């Protein structure tokens, strides 16, 4: 149990004074791929924001990538987020910079030094995300699937222990969305990077089974533990 990347025990998550989720017991192990589902307003985004310290943990215990969520502050949050890769539905690329420049921007912001070292890491993550040779492409020259792959490459730069993917296929057609999901599952397996994949797309869940965690009635439960 010591090597768990996420460990929440009897956790409570609030938005302002309103309790969103309560009694949360939730673990993620290295290399695990997990779907996070639930209706709009069920608390999925609040749970994700708590994991990357955008929302404070209201009560209970919470450890993420070796960081105690109760002890995170402006000084420690950047260190926590370097252990995480975050991928959103919107690609959030810098439209006036090439693929390589988008990635270099993140490396510089997170303390990487050395032109060759940065170039090698950029080439590595582009290779892994099937974007080799796209370094000089501008975002507007890429398809939606390629843009999301750039966002995933960006999330991989600092070798995260956990990728948090919040509706990463929401802006993509089904075939392209499947490709992105399969890429993330491959990364979980090959790089021992855990992936928490929030989605509304039940077709993906049916076609590509994995552990499912559901936000429901203020709780977080493994699908197999829900009453029939």
| Nearest Cα to Cα of residue 161 among 21, 45, 7, 38 | 7
Structure tokens at 223: 């699908």
pLDDT at 170: 87
What pLDDT tens digit does each residue of the chain (228 aa) get?
Answer: 458 999 999 999 998 889 999 999 999 999 999 999 998 889 999 999 999 999 999 999 999 999 999 999 989 999 999 999 999 888 889 999 999 999 999 999 988 999 999 999 999 999 999 999 999 999 999 999 999 999 999 999 999 999 999 999 888 999 999 999 999 999 999 988 999 999 988 899 998 999 999 999 999 999 776 554
Cα end-to-end span (Å), the chain: 29
What is the spatial distance between Cα 71 and Cα 115, in angstroms, rounded to a whole number?
35
Select the CATH number that applies to the domain covering 1-83+160-228 from these four: 3.40.50.300, 3.30.450.40, 3.40.50.12780, 3.90.870.10.
Answer: 3.40.50.300
Compute the distance between CA of residue 126 and CA of residue 183 in angstroms, rounded to an integer: 12
pLDDT number for residue 40: 86
Q: What's the CA gap between 92 and 168, in Å, rounded?
A: 12
How is residue 1 written in tokens?
């149990």
Instruction: Give the H or E element holding residue 135.
Output: none
**pLDDT of res. 89:** 84
Write b or e for each residue in 103-119: b if 16 or more Cβ atoms lie within 10 A of its Cβ, otherwise e: bbebbeeeebeeeeebe
Which run of H or of E encompasses 176? helix 174-191
- Distance of alpha carbon 170 from alpha carbon 162, whole angstroms: 20
| Helix 144-156, helix 99-109: angle, nearest 10 | 20
Instruction: Please give the pLDDT value at position 41.
Output: 87
Task: Give the closest residue to 26 by CA, choosing from 226, 215, 186, 228.
Answer: 215
Q: For the chain, what are the domain ranges?
A: 1-83+160-228, 91-159
Distance CA 15, CA 49 (A): 10
């Amino acid at each position: 149990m010591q090597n768990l990347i996420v460990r929440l025990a009897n956790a409570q998550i609030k938005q302002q004074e309103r309790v969103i989720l309560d009694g949360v017991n939730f673990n993620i192990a290295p290399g695990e791929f997990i779907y996070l589902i639930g209706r709009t307003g069920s608390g999925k985004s609040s749970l994700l924001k708590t994991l990357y310290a955008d929302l404070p943990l209201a009560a209970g215990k919470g450890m993420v990538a070796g960081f105690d969520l109760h002890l995170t502050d402006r000084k420690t949050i950047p260190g926590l987020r370097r252990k995480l890769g975050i991928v959103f539905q919107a690609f959030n690329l810098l439209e006036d910079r090439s693929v390589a420049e988008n990635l270099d921007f993140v490396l510089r912001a997170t303390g990487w030094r050395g032109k060759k070292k940065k170039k090698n890491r950029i080439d590595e993550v582009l290779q892994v995300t099937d974007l080799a040779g796209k370094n000089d492409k501008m975002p507007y020259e890429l398809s939606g699937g390629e843009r999301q792959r750039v966002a995933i490459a960006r999330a991989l730069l600092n070798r995260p222990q956990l990728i948090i993917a919040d509706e990463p296929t929401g802006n993509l057609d089904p075939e392209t969305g499947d490709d992105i999901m399969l890429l993330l599952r491959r990364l979980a397996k090959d790089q021992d990077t855990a992936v928490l994949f929030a989605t509304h797309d039940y077709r993906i869940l049916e076609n590509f089974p994995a552990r499912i965690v559901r936000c429901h009635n203020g709780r977080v439960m493994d699908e197999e533990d829900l009453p029939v």
